[in-house]
Structure 1
Amino acid sequence: MNKPKKIFDPLSGSVIEGISRTLGETNNGLTGDEISKFLHESNITDTEPGITKWKRLFNAFVNHQNKYRNSNNILSFINKSMSPARFIGKYEKFEHLRFELNKILSFSGLQLKENGKFTLTEITTTISEAEQKANRLKSKLELRNTHEKIFEYCKAELLTDNYFHSVFEAVKSIADTIRQKTGLSQDGGELIDLAFSTKNPLLKINKLSNETEESEQKGFANLIKGVFGMFRNTTAHTPKIIWSINESDALDILSTISLIHRRIEQAE
């Protein structure tokens, strides 16, 4: 016996508009031919094919929903247009669209997963809640298998994609972790010199049995000092509006800090 098809409630006009603007966006959205293809495959009438892309989608979606009183075919359109197979070699574009769609869909209690399918989620009522649920930065860091310390120290900042403060909190986590492992109370360069000394080290990233291993220990200590100098000190004393960090920078910086945490975790 076939399982009855789930009927999804109609979407609000503002949610439909947000979906239409995202999928009809000039640079990252669908082409005119793609809109024609997926409207046809989703059994939605293309009411005004000659107008602006987002308005074309909006009018088609609203017309269909008003007629059938559910959003099934609109959601089918999103599934088809956001099929992961369409984005091979275009992961950044896929994630950008998924992130933007999820902010809008959260107001209807829906979330588009990485496999291109929907899952139910708690309905959001504010912009900040929608941003948290979309959670683009955290998702990308998870794909990089980022060290758990990053998520432990940056939880609130990551939930709102706050690159500036995510980096600041993550850098602070390095010193905290070293103090916890060594019992030292110092900070900055003094902490690093005492913890990773090659003569009387409290933490060893290798056996320090030859010149090469001693150089590696010194290099690791200098790497941490460099991270402190460039990112912790800068973010602590410079206003966010002046010292700007974009998503790519944040991902690279946080991945470096993740590497540092792995080496500290493995240190003797």
Structure 2
Amino acid sequence: MSQTTLPPAPFPATSVEQICRALAEAVTGPQIPNLIAPLKIPEPAGSERQTKWKRLFNAVAERQNRQGDGKAMLRLVGEVMRPVRFTSTLAFEDTRSAVNEALLYSGYKILDDGRVARTTAATTVAEAQQRADDLRAELSRRGVHPDVLHFCRAELMQRNYFHTVLEASKSVADKLRVLTGENGDGSGLVDKTCSIGQGPRVAFNTLTTEWERSEQNGLVMLMKGLFSTFRNPSAHAPKVLWATSRSDALDVLTLISMLHRRLDTAILHP
């Protein structure tokens, strides 16, 4: 006997809004008519003056009201999330994470090939955020140093990439202070503890060859560059002026992890 698959239940209006807001970040206004065409809901005159998410929302809501099920929402998600529409894997993953956070409350998720599949529904904000964002899974896959995660665990839970980078960068300075007993912060602390010119308290090798001295100087510059590029601007500039994407956060956290591993194996001098 063949099984009959029941159509998906209509999505609540609040879920439709949140999903459409996330989808709208990945589309342009001129693309919307083609994206909603399969729903067979013509847009009223003047709709192009509305926000993108509202145009998507109106089409889905109208189709849901006519059909009495949630097929329209899932079809729109499938149309927008076709991998071929994205310019890079990172752009696709950023959008997939944002849309999944809203979809999970209704028991659906986007797979890595862009298809929508049923899953266990999320019941809390924290659960939806954790399951939707694969940044932590990727950090785990890369074997990121536990001291990095210790400093920014709360920010990762909130998908707050701006403060994730800020807090993680503090972990390098903290380890330098713990290893040497020195005070200070940022580039000044790096100079006091790692600069060859000062007879480094923290040496990343024996410093007996030109190559080793070059490596020491390179790691010093990486630490100072980390503070100058990420910690200092993000500590003093408003968040809206210092946006940190998921892909940037992933790269910076990986760099910070490497610095921690080098500090763990460094040669300490009194």
Using structure 1 for the length normalisation, give the TM-score.
0.68
Which range moved further: 139-148 or 154-163?
139-148
1:5-44 equivalences in 2 (<5 Å): 5=5, 7-23=7-23, 27=28, 30-36=31-37, 39=38, 44=39
Instruction: Compute the RMSD of aligned alpha carbons.
Output: 4.2
1:166 counterpart letter in structure 2: T
5+ long unaligned stretches in structure 2: none
Equivalent residues of 1:131, 1:160 under 8 A apart = yes
- Kindly indicate whether residue 187 of structure 2 is the aligned counterpart of residue 186 of structure 1: no
2:244 counterpart letter in structure 1: E
Match of 1:160 among 158, 161, 180: 158
Q: Which runs of 4+ in 1 moved over 6 A?
A: 198-202
In structure 2, what is the equivalent of residue 82 of structure 1?
A: 81
Shift of residue 211, structure 1, vs aligned partner: 1.6
Q: What per-residue deviation string (whole Å, max 9, x for no partner) do you get for residues 174-208 of structure 1?
A: 1334456x4x3224445764467699766543453
What is the aligned length?
253
Equivalent residues of 1:198, 1:217 under 8 A apart = no
Equivalent residues of 1:206, 1:267 under 8 A apart = yes
Using structure 2 for the length normalisation, give the TM-score.
0.68
In 1, Cα distance between the equivalents of 2:97 and 2:176? 35
In 1, Cα distance between the equivalents of 2:242 and 2:176? 26
2:182 counterpart letter in structure 1: Q
In structure 2, what is the equivalent of residue 48 of structure 1?
A: 42
Shift of residue 246, structure 1, vs aligned partner: 1.2
5+ long unaligned stretches in structure 1: none
In 2, Cα distance between the equivalents of 1:174 and 1:246? 22
Shift of residue 100, structure 1, vs aligned partner: 3.7
Identical-pair percentage: 32
SS in 2 for 1:247: coil
- Kindly indicate whether residue 205 of structure 2 is the aligned counterpart of residue 217 of structure 1: no
Shift of residue 210, structure 1, vs aligned partner: 0.8
Equivalent residues of 1:28, 1:97 under 8 A apart = no
Equivalent residues of 1:170, 1:257 under 8 A apart = yes
Equivalent residues of 1:147, 1:262 under 8 A apart = no
User: Aligned pair in 2 of structure 1 residues 233, 50: CA closer, same or farther (>3 Å)?
Assistant: closer
In 2, Cα distance between the equivalents of 1:23 and 1:222? 40
In structure 1, what is the equivalent of residue 207 of structure 2?
A: 208
User: Aligned pair in 2 of structure 1 residues 193, 59: CA closer, same or farther (>3 Å)?
Assistant: closer
Shift of residue 218, structure 1, vs aligned partner: 2.8
Equivalent residues of 1:168, 1:232 under 8 A apart = yes
SS in 2 for 1:259: helix
1:64-143 equivalences in 2 (<5 Å): 64-84=63-83, 86-87=84-85, 89-116=87-114, 117-118=116-117, 119-124=119-124, 134-135=132-133, 138=135, 142=139
User: Aligned pair in 2 of structure 1 residues 92, 179: CA closer, same or farther (>3 Å)?
Assistant: same
Shift of residue 250, structure 1, vs aligned partner: 4.7
In structure 2, what is the equivalent of residue 246 of structure 1?
A: 243
